Amino acid sequence: MYAPSTRPVVLDPHGAANACTHCDARAHSVCNAVPDSDVARLAAIAVVTTAQPGTTLIQEGDPASHFVNISAGTVRMYKLLPDGRRQITGFAGVGHFLGLAVSSTYAFSAEAIDTVRYCRFSRARLHTLLDDYPAMEKRLLEIASTELVAAQDQMLLLGRKTARERLASFLMLQSRQGVMCQSPRGRFVLPMSRGDIADYLGLTIETVSRTITKLRSEGYIDVPSATEIAIKAPAALEGLALGNA
Amino acid sequence: MYAPSTRPVVLDPHGAANACTHCDARAHSVCNAVPDSDVARLAAIAVVTTAQPGTTLIQEGDPASHFVNISAGTVRMYKLLPDGRRQITGFAGVGHFLGLAVSSTYAFSAEAIDTVRYCRFSRARLHTLLDDYPAMEKRLLEIASTELVAAQDQMLLLGRKTARERLASFLMLQSRQGVMCQSPRGRFVLPMSRGDIADYLGLTIETVSRTITKLRSEGYIDVPSATEIAIKAPAALEGLALGNA
DNA sequence: CGGGGGCATTGATCTGGATCAAGGCGCGGG
DNA sequence: CCCGCGCCTTGATCCAGATCAATGCCCCCG
């Protein structure tokens, strides 16, 4: 699905400063709170890593020792019940920041969906940086607030929307996030499986599949392949997402 | 249900500094990031207000001009769909802080459930204070992170738990939050109606009512009156909340 | 003390989405 | 090129919780 990256998997340690300066994710991320001139300090504490699909980056309950910043690929964040039921609380793409936690342990797990490149920062070291760059702390608060708003939207979806409305909401959200890197207008790739979508929307795989088929047969969307979606009627789909029959 | 407050509804402006120093909520709140010696600065920008049951404190979509800090009573935060379906995203009690928002408008509404006393801070003025008290900014980040964790738990509840598990989770949560001010062990008051509980748990009033009746007949809880609950088997109820049949 | 309005409970029935059960299809490996 | 394994789709049936419908009960107000 993804062409293998042309970048080396393990970066030359001497080139680490460049890794941050040229990082694709920097513009979208916490890191832009650090001025160019000081980016070496950031690079010095960052460890760049690549994770294969299915690999766990963060495990719920583990000591929250690191922050993670995604620079390529997509991650699923989720929580499990003891019997294995799973709720995906969000998908994190390029620029996303994981690992905010007050408690000493992570409150959720995170797994690579496709091949993911990311930076790990020790929590302790980043905190010392934070004291020197108050803008970075402000940025973290902004990030947390944005996620809180998204979480509230998701609660509305999970508590009160029908399967049809959930899929419409999800597809609109993905199109907003994914469209920038895709050529044809309104078309995008879904990196996650039907099972992931189901666990994100609080539905079953079968309901997700059936509902997508229905939306296609009604002309709201095109589904050129299982992992590609094109939105044909964005306004109408947005209406559906908000409950207009 | 609540004895009328012995405090005056409108505080003497000259006593405002005392209002913060002696505030019941201060210990639980952002305000404790400001040292006692400087609490007058906080008091100077706070407006203490009382809201009657049902009053709107914050309206989704309005310009986010203020922060709010609850010092007595309980507030419901919620989002609506255009057709009136409501999802309550949380209940805020003493010490809770409302109004974090990146965007310029509020992402949710907030209404008083019972009589609520609260402080309003202008966002602009609080931001200038924030620059002088970095500890306060850290505290806000902590608050946002804590709420994010709660939101993730709620997504798991809404997406993957049964009605029975939702009620068990809710009652355990309320008992943790409410028990401190109540005399008999494990007993507490629910300030919100069955309709509020339903809209918080993504259920209907009828299902909430039936499920509470069932939990009572099975000996998990006592329901001395519609607004009072006593948990008789906390460990078993906690098990239920996590899906142990 | 009696009447009425709003919330809560309880009962009967219905249904959206879950569950159970086959196939289809694209892709990687031999 | 073909086979087999994982997803995905589609179909048939089931059921938890929604909806529809009384009735009960508390509390306020006259």
Residues 6 or more apart in contact with residue B53 via CB below 8 angstroms = B112, B113, B114, B115
Could you tell me if B184 and B137 lie in one domain? Answer: no
Last residue of a domain, one of A117, A151, A185: A151
DSSP A4: P
On the question of pLDDT at A3 being above 50, the answer is: no
Could you tell me if B48 and B88 lie in one domain? Answer: yes
Hey, is the C-beta of B160 within 8 angstroms of any chain A C-beta?
Answer: yes
- More reliable by pLDDT, A63 or B36: A63
Query: Alpha-carbon distance A146 to A129, whole Å?
Result: 22
DSSP H helices in chain A: 16-21, 39-45, 123-132, 134-160, 163-178, 194-201, 205-217, 234-241
Could you tell me if B28 and B97 lie in one domain? Answer: yes
On the question of pLDDT at B1 being above 70, the answer is: no
Q: What is the CATH number of the domain that holds B36?
A: 2.60.120.10
Position A62 scores a pLDDT of: 96
Could you tell me if A147 and A165 lie in one domain? Answer: no
A65-93, pLDDT tens digit by residue? 999 999 999 999 999 999 999 999 999 99
Residue A202 lies in a domain: yes
Could you tell me if B199 and B139 lie in one domain? Answer: no
Hey, is the C-beta of B142 within 8 angstroms of any chain A C-beta?
Answer: yes
Interface touch B107/A149, C-beta < 8 Å = yes
Last residue of a domain, one of B122, B147, B172: B147
Could you tell me if A129 and A19 lie in one domain? Answer: yes
On the question of pLDDT at A18 being above 80, the answer is: no
Residue B6 lies in a domain: no
Could you tell me if B65 and B174 lie in one domain? Answer: no
On the question of pLDDT at A32 being above 60, the answer is: yes
Distance, CA of A121 to C1' of C18, in Å: 42
Could you tell me if B181 and B121 lie in one domain? Answer: no
Position B29 scores a pLDDT of: 79
Residue A37 lies in a domain: yes
Number of domains in chain A: 2
Tokens for B81, please give them.
């769909």
Last residue of a domain, one of A105, A122, A151: A151
Could you tell me if A81 and A115 lie in one domain? Answer: yes
Strand D contacts (CB < 7 A) among B residues 188-207?
A: 202-204, 206-207
Interface touch A148/B201, C-beta < 8 Å = no
Residue A18 lies in a domain: yes
Residue A7 lies in a domain: no
Residue B91 lies in a domain: yes
Residue B20 lies in a domain: yes
Is residue B144 a contact partner of residue B98, using CB atoms and an 8 Å limit? no
DSSP A47: E
Q: What is the mean pLDDT of residues B182-205?
A: 91
Q: What is the mean pLDDT of residues A210-215?
A: 98
**Tokens 């795989």 found at:** A205
- CB contacts of A242 in chain B (<8 Å) are 81-82
Position B68 scores a pLDDT of: 95
B80-89, pLDDT tens digit by residue? 999 999 999 9
Could you tell me if B112 and B195 lie in one domain? Answer: no
Is residue A165 a contact partner of residue A239, using CB atoms and an 8 Å limit? no
Closest partner CB to A141 (pick from B141, B154, B201):
B141
On the question of pLDDT at A98 being above 50, the answer is: yes
Residue A156 lies in a domain: no
Position A4 scores a pLDDT of: 37
Distance, CA of A199 to C1' of C8, in Å: 34
Position B11 scores a pLDDT of: 39
- Neighbour count for residue B1 (Cβ, 10 Å): 9
Could you tell me if A107 and A145 lie in one domain? Answer: yes
B96 to chain A nearest CA, in Å? 15
Could you tell me if B109 and B20 lie in one domain? Answer: yes
- More reliable by pLDDT, B78 or B14: B78
Q: Nearest nucleotide, C1' to the C-alpha of B196?
A: C7
The boundaries of the domain holding residue B134 are: 13-147
Q: What is the CATH number of the domain that holds B213?
A: 1.10.10.10
On the question of pLDDT at B17 being above 60, the answer is: no
Q: What is the mean pLDDT of residues A142-161?
A: 97
Q: Range with the lowest mean pLDDT among A23-32, A49-58, B8-17? A: B8-17
Query: Alpha-carbon distance B241 to A233, whole Å?
Result: 41
Query: Alpha-carbon distance B140 to A191, whole Å?
Result: 34
Computed over every residue of chain B, the mean pLDDT equals 88
